[in-house]
Amino acid sequence: MAGLRTLNAMNRAIVACERCERLRTYCAAVAREKRRMYRDHDYWGRPVPGFGDPEARALLVGLAPGAHGANRTGRMFTGDSSGDWLYEALHRHGFASQPGSVSRDDGQKLADVWIGAAGRCAPPDNKPLPEELERCREYLVTELRLLKRVRVVLALGRIAHEAFLRGSGLWDQYAPSGRPQFAHAAEHELPGGLLLMDTFHPSRQNTQTGRLTRDMWHAVFARLREVVDAAQ
């Protein structure tokens, strides 16, 4: 990936990726069989590229595409309830042109934010294997290299938090007991002037149980807005 010089080239490499046979088989099967409510949709069914502003000062790291969300639409956090939560917050706090994201050609534009993920293929049961995350990490590493203005990273969930630390090379710079620990609304000042922020993932498991409320969610994005506006 060191030879990739643009985000567009990186996204093309992501879409063409065939590294994980289990994930490629699963995504293709989901795209072929479809969910009944989407039976007339043409599923994307491939690894999902990053999306956003190439000049972004904020990088959002998710877990992985949803089987009938991004694996269907081909855009990160698009077409499912997690995406509904994310884009509504991005729009409210000035990062997105629209409060929703339903397809790759809906006109949605992001400002000062790029959305990536720990994994680029939808995993069975939303649980990528450690070795699959390791194979995919190179794409996050490349995003970090090419997004030269990023000053704050928002990790959506513990897996994204760890994926960023590993992808940035910071994981091994800390003793295990000294590594930044994931917690909702936690902030970690990192070497190089980066700020790592954490939030619970807006999965139904979190939002429908009250573990993550709208107020908690919007407080994180209000804080993200403050940090981005203060960044040089």
d(CA 193, CA 232): 11
pTM score of the predicted model: 0.97
CA 87, chain centre distance (Å)? 12
> How confident is the model over 93-124, as pLDDT tens digits?
999 999 999 999 999 999 999 999 999 999 99
CATH code of residue 169: 3.40.470.10
What's the full length of the chain, in residues?
A: 232
Report if residue 201 sits inside a domain.
yes
What b/e string do you get for 151-177 counting C-beta neighbours within 10 Å, with b at 16 or more? bbbbbbbebbbbbbbbbbebeeeeeee
Burial of 143 (C-beta count, 10 Å sphere; 0-12/13-18/19+) = buried
Domain that holds residue 186: 7-230
Residue 57's CB: how many other CB atoms inside 10 A? 21
d(CA 50, CA 72): 15
Average pLDDT over residues 213-218: 98
> How confident is the model over 71-80, as pLDDT tens digits?
999 999 999 9
Q: Reply yes or no on whether the pLDDT at 165 is more than 70.
A: yes
Q: Residue 82 is encoded by which pair of tokens? A: 């997690």
Q: Reply yes or no on whether the pLDDT at 63 is more than 70.
A: yes
Report if residue 2 sits inside a domain.
no
Report if residue 1 sits inside a domain.
no
For the chain, give the mean pLDDT: 97
Q: Per 3-state DSSP, what percentage of the chain is helix, strand, and coil (rounded to 5)?
A: 45, 10, 45
Q: Reply yes or no on whether the pLDDT at 1 is more than 70.
A: no
pLDDT of residue 36: 95
Report if residue 218 sits inside a domain.
yes
Q: Reply yes or no on whether the pLDDT at 213 is more than 90.
A: yes
Average pLDDT over residues 152-156: 98
CA 173, chain centre distance (Å)? 24
- The total of structural domains in the chain comes to 1
pLDDT of residue 3: 78
Average pLDDT over residues 174-179: 94
Residues facing 154 on adjacent strands: 60, 197
Report if residue 138 sits inside a domain.
yes
Q: Reply yes or no on whether the pLDDT at 2 is more than 70.
A: no
d(CA 94, CA 17): 33
